[in-house]
Structure 1
Amino acid sequence: MKHLKIAILALLLIASYSNANAQDETNPWMLTIGANAIDVSTPSDANGGYFGSFNESGNDVNMIPWISRLAIARNIGKGFVLELAGSLNKIDEPWSAGESTYVGLDLNAKYDLNNAFGQTGWFDPFVYAGLGENWVGSKNGIGFNAGLGFNAWISDNVGINITTGWKKVNTPVDFEMFQHSVGLTWKFGNKDVDGDGISNKEDKCPTVAGSAEFGGCADTDTDKDGVMDCCDECPEVAGLAEFNGCPDTDGDGVQDSEDNCPKVAGLKVTHGCPDKDGDGTADKDDACPDVFGPKTNAGCPFKDTDEDGVIDLIDRCVEVPGPAKNEGCPEVFADQLSLDAALRGVNFDTGKWNIRPDAASILDRVATILSENQNLQFKFSIDGHTDNTGSAVRNMTLSNNRANSVKDYLIGKGISANRLRAQGFGETAPIDDNKTSTGRANNRRVEINEVK
């Protein structure tokens, strides 16, 4: 029994690599030869069961290891098969002492489960039911059969058959029996079903007579398009040979089955639909069909309000032209000269940082210049300077105070604080000679410069 199990597993492994299919009209006959095991139980048999002592632990199951089952089957179409099967075995008579010969002859109707699900392949399961005559020693009776099994096809015509089933026999003997079998099965039959001289294996139309020129199919052209039906994927609609007989209504080189606009000539890249602006977005999907634009923007160009080549989406100065390297903003502050000219009049008293009345009007003008460029988001540095009167440390503090004094004044005039920063340079950057009072006055100043 152990060797039989190993053999079955080996054969199933081989069958799993096969692409063969079930019994069909091209191979309608099937012969199965193998061995069977039976397990008999009666109403008084308390140890009966599906497999009984199948694992060699008792004498309730009997098996003849050589050929003890023979079956011949015929495919009758639509997944149904008629089978005549005979089996031979030895059993211990459950109603008397001693061993008896068992002979069974069954007529079964089988149904291929793959047919129910439209499947094909090496694994071919089935169910069956039928009637049979059963001889046990000198007694015999008609019984009902039901079971299931599968064929595992090793090649196109050879496979492994495993079947298990139940039998119920009444008068004149009353017993139930489970029968299990394993064997080799062969498919055979008509090698040329349609009789056209081309074997079923090579015939593209095995049930319809044809010619070798058309692979065994009939020389017909139903739609009159010059493509024979055997090779025509659209046999009832006139088409083109390049599309295997399928049509291209608009003549754009894209067959109708793949054409999103089958009645309007288009381009292959847009699946048969037109693209007037050539931007790769079909007109039917293009929000701007007459203007080139990227697919990511529905076929429309990205908006560039200031026309500086930097789209509004990433332009930091949407309404003022500027280079891409400066995020669409001008690189130079346009009114820097105006600021420089205005600030020449902003001076401070020696040692002081308060805004003098004459400087206030000037700073008002500076605030106006900065406000006019509010949308540009320019930022500015307010730099304070002193003459060389006093110590360098004191002058650094004084210059910082002067810068912050101007910053506070501009903030008070509405300029955003985050656009301004103040810093002092002390006496380190004079613009005039500190030996004269005029020169020292010029050095006591504040400058405003754009931060780049």
Structure 2
Amino acid sequence: MKHLSKIVLASLLFLGFTSVQAQDADNPWAIGIGTNAVDFYPTGEDAPLGGMFDEYFNTGDHWNILPAVSKLSVSRYIGAGFVGEISGSINQIDKYGDRSVGDLSYYAVDLSADYSLRALLNDGWIDPVLGIGGGYTWIGDQDGSDLENFSNPTLNGKAGVNFWFSDNIALTLESKYKHTFDTDGAQHFQHAAGIKFMFGGTDSDGDGIYDKDDECPEQPGLEEFNGCPDTDGDGIEDRQDACPNEAGLAEFDGCPDSDGDGVADPDDDCPEVAGLAEMNGCPDADGDGVRDDEDNCPDEAGPAENDGCPWADTDGDGVLDKDDDCPEEAGPAASNGCPEPTAEVISELNEYSKTVLFDLNKATIRPESEEALQSIHDIMHEYSTTIFHIEGHTDSSGSDSYNMKLSKERAASVATWLEQNGIPAKRLTSEGYGETQPIATNSTAKGRQDNRRVEISLDKDKEMKDKSKDKK
């Protein structure tokens, strides 16, 4: 005990640099081990004892010290700063005040309610404690001694201090006065020093931060964020991070700006290409106010009504003049801006096609059909971008294979005549359908005559394919 002051001083220096927490609701249990000293002298005025508190620190003359682990304690936090503790201690008594006695065995069991003053000191590492309680003390046999077989309950008062030098370990010092109401005069002080180990703290998410100090007790987190997570590791805790799964910048509330244009990715319609804030992060290369991904001419300035292109739409059909094969005539985009024949025009074509005649069982066009073919030619010429489909049909006379062959040849003959007279071949398709598509009964001569026909329609499929090739 003569080195006690040095131990305390070293502890104070060490503890001054340490952040700690004491026994509380989140760390309710503690176990203490240490050594104790028993002193009878400063407890009265009868020889061989001195007055109360006389020579209180005279360790050499009066203290009975057992230089070993001689005290064990278990304590539990109760609440509101109170801790309940039960302790047991042993010692060897060879000094009774100023008088030497033979070695006596000392045993004690004590129960106390202790109050921590640490909260009054701003929860620092110094934890002063006051306590009150009771116990039972037994001192072993000594022949002819007044202390022979002393065994009595005691009323105890305690003052001590815990020095918390880590989250779970404290150096403890205490002095306890044990008063007995017996006339034997065996009241005494018992001093103790030791180590207290705190345990039982609640850490629901297992992040090493007790729930008491954890602002996110159900999610593993980081100490610098009071137990809250930073999933993307960008230094912005998830609760304040608008993009918790993507590392970002504080100026964008934790969201990234991949293209570095000053517009955060969630607000950037073009996050991989640097652009303008007024264009929601998209570029406008030609500066015409139409962003590039909506600008049909991104390198040439043009008005928004022309989709960013400088060209006009003369016929107002929605197809810019640069793409309009018929810029002076309105037509749908599907026909590159050129007009398409109406149902009435197709009907007119088929009226003419009905008068196209062939030699018997041949594909040769009869001379008297040329006027009808010329009328068909003139209409097709008027619609210069339309692709027409010429169909050949027969009645049911003859075999299926013969009828199919004849119908194909007759349709091809009409297409050949039109090509030879100025209609481009790419604007014509032909096919024979034999007797498969009758429009009247084959049981009468009139019906069979109606079924032997040539029909003209629009070839939309080929038209779309050709336009697709042109774009490529």
TM-score by length of 2: 0.41
Structure showing greater radius of gyration is: 2
TM-score by length of 1: 0.43
